[in-house]
């Protein structure tokens, strides 16, 4: 018995393996029959390699197995690794083979060409769509982003936490939450780990991060919203201002930008999607007050955002274009958002309480991070609740956190799917979620 190896690993040491018998197992990607020779291209998670079943070199009973093999069947091949005689690269001269599984009916989706199908069809047969190597790379890059997130914040002294996803109430109110029956009472799926990551800072962990799902019962029908996604969250104690939080967010994106230029596998993915790595100027990501953004949009593009309102998708895209042209940056922090569109726990500016110490980070014209400084003073929090029209008693368990000594703190939440989408310039966020959940879709 030979040990099965990934195709990428075989090709990486092909010179030393040349002439030796090896084993590969994977999905049958393509089949070409030239009479006395049958070429079967095998695919695993790491790459593809051609196996050759040739009359006179391959035993007759193995040739019969090759004839019975179907595209997208699962096959193991033992054979000699050799240089391909008619092209560059290596192939396997098959000596033995075993079919582990064959399709029992015609495929509803051509995996090698799945990107030509409509997105609803691709999502309906996602387990076939994801076999397309290019589609698979979306999720490999997404995994890489999550790993870099953990690496960066761990290196900065953060502790990973794991917070509940079944909660007693919403983060901001009872709206936009999914209710679930929790034994004899109603509970909710967490909109955010916000309260719990603040609790962890207050408890003395000081700097924490989490990677986890969040749920939003918002009836959106857009290319940028999901009802379930993964959030990359941080919270930091003993900050001097919300700029400290932005520094940590910028450090993470700078790591993504630098490592995507250094790591060959990621460079290859970006090349396949025909996109450039994230660009961040040496001087740092620009930080522009939203009141200044209103002025830029009006003067440069004739785009008028009502004063004190949030940016709409067009406004985000336009300011992204402006920053790219002016600062050579794919990222921009929009800071000091209006109080009326921020959650009650956001710290307001002392001299201008209608504005806040908060920010969004836009990546190529799309908001991918939201954060800011939190209000840590008990009486101020109670006033914030009152100003938002929220009942203090509904948030008493949260207010209790703040009775016994709380450091100034702040944090941010980052959308993993949005970051992936913008790095690869995907057209729809559903492409960046293996099994997306939206207003129409709860299967597969």
Write out pLDDT tens, residues 341-392: 999 999 999 999 999 999 999 999 999 999 999 999 999 999 999 999 999 9
Q: Which residues of 193-223 are buried (b: 16+ CB within 10 A; e: fewer)?
A: bbbbbbbbbbeeebbbbbbbebbbeeeeeee
Cα–Cα–Cα angle for 58, 59, 60, nearest 5°? 115
pLDDT of residue 274: 98
Averaged pLDDT score across all residues of the chain: 96
pLDDT of residue 176: 86
pLDDT, average across residues 257-285 = 97
Which residues lie across from 231 on neighbouring strands? Answer: 212, 415
Task: Please give the model's pTM, rounded to 2 decimal places.
Answer: 0.95
pLDDT, average across residues 216-235 = 95
Give the residue from 336, 334, 335, 307 showing the smallest Cα distance to 318: 334
pLDDT of residue 172: 60
Q: Residue ranges per domain, the chain? A: 7-101, 133-432
pLDDT of residue 87: 84
- How many C-beta atoms lie closer than 10 Å to residue 338's C-beta? 16
Q: Encode pLDDT of 44-76 as tens digits.
A: 999 999 999 999 999 999 999 999 999 999 999
Pairing of strands 47-54, 37-44: antiparallel
Whether residue 168 is predicted with pLDDT greater than 90 in this model: the reply is: no
pLDDT more than 90, % of the chain: 95
Q: Encode pLDDT of 38-49 as tens digits.
A: 999 999 999 999
Encoded tokens for 212: 């986890």
Question: CA of 397: how far to CAs of 187, 194, 361, 407, in Å?
Answer: 15, 14, 30, 18
Q: What is the dihedral of CA 227, 233, 239, 244, to 10 degrees?
A: -90
| CA atoms in the 13 A half-sphere facing the CB of 209 | 22
Sheet holding 287-289, edge to edge: 159-160, 207-215, 228-237, 409-415, 366-373, 358-363, 331-335, 287-289
Q: Encode pLDDT of 412-430 as tens digits.
A: 999 999 999 999 999 999 9
Encoded tokens for 28: 């049958």
User: Taking each helix axis from N to C terminus, what angle separates 416-424 and 242-262, rounded to the nearest 10 degrees?
Assistant: 50
Encoded tokens for 135: 């589609």
**Is residue 399 classed as helix, strand or coil in its secondary structure?**
helix
pLDDT of residue 35: 83
- Confidence at 403, pLDDT banded by 50, 70, 90: very high
Which of left, alpha, beta for 223 (phi over 0: left; psi -120 to 50: alpha)?
alpha
7-101 and 133-432 have identical folds: no
CATH code for residues 133-432: 3.30.930.10
- How many C-beta atoms lie closer than 10 Å to residue 352's C-beta? 11
Give the residue from 26, 37, 29 showing the smallest Cα distance to 4: 26
- How many C-beta atoms lie closer than 10 Å to residue 181's C-beta? 8
pLDDT of residue 49: 97
pLDDT of residue 169: 78
pLDDT of residue 281: 98
pLDDT, average across residues 252-266 = 97
Whether residue 173 is predicted with pLDDT greater than 60 in this model: the reply is: no
pLDDT, average across residues 227-239 = 98
- Are residues 109 and 129 in contact, defined by beta-carbon separation less than 8 angstroms? yes
pLDDT more than 70, % of the chain: 98
* CATH class of segment(s) 7-101: mainly beta
pLDDT, average across residues 333-340 = 98
């Amino acid at each position: 018995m030979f040990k099965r190896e990934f195709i990428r690993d075989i090709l990486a040491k092909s010179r030393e393996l040349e002439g030796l018998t090896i084993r590969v197992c994977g999905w049958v990607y393509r089949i070409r029959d030239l009479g006395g020779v049958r070429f079967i291209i095998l695919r695993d998670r790491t790459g593809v390699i051609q196996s050759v079943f040739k009359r006179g070199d391959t035993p007759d009973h193995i040739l019969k197995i090759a004839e019975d093999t179907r595209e997208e069947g699962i096959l193991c091949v033992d054979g000699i690794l050799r240089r391909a005689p008619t092209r560059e690269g290596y192939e396997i001269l098959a000596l033995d083979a075993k079919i582990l599984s064959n399709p029992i009916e015609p495929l509803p989706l051509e995996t090698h060409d799945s990107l030509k199908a409509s997105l609803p069809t691709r999502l309906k047969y996602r387990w076939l769509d994801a076999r397309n190597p290019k589609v698979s790379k979306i999720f490999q890059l997404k995994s890489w982003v999550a790993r870099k997130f953990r690496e960066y914040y761990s290196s900065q002294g953060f502790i990973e936490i794991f917070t509940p996803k079944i909660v007693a109430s919403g983060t901001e109110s009872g709206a936009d939450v999914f209710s679930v029956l929790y034994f004899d009472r109603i509970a909710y799926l967490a909109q955010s780990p916000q309260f719990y990551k603040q609790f962890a800072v207050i408890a003395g962990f000081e700097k924490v991060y989490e990677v986890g799902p969040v749920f939003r019962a918002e009836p959106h029908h857009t290319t940028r919203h999901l009802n379930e996604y993964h959030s990359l969250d941080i919270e930091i104690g003993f900050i001097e201002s919300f700029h400290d939080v932005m520094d940590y967010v910028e450090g993470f994106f700078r790591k993504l930008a630098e490592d995507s230029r250094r790591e060959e596998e990621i460079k290859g993915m970006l090349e396949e999607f025909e996109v450039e790595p994230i660009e961040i100027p040496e001087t740092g990501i620009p930080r522009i007050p939203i009141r200044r953004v209103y002025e830029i949009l009006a003067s440069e593009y004739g785009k008028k955002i009502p004063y004190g309102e949030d940016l709409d998708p067009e406004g985000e895209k336009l300011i992204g274009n402006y920053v790219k042209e002016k600062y050579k940056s794919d990222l921009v922090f929009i800071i000091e958002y209006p109080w009326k569109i921020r959650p009650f726990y956001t710290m307001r500016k002392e001299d201008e309480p209608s504005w806040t110490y908060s920010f969004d980070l836009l990546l190529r014209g799309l908001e991918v991070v939201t954060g800011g400084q939190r209000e840590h003073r008990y009486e101020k929090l109670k006033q914030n609740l009152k100003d938002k029209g929220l009942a203090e008693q509904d948030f008493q368990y949260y207010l209790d956190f703040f009775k016994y000594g709380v450091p100034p703190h702040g944090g941010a939440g980052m959308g993993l799917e949005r970051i992936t989408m913008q790095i690869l310039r995907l057209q729809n966020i559903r492409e960046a979620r293996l099994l997306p959940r939206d207003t129409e879709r709860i299967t597969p």
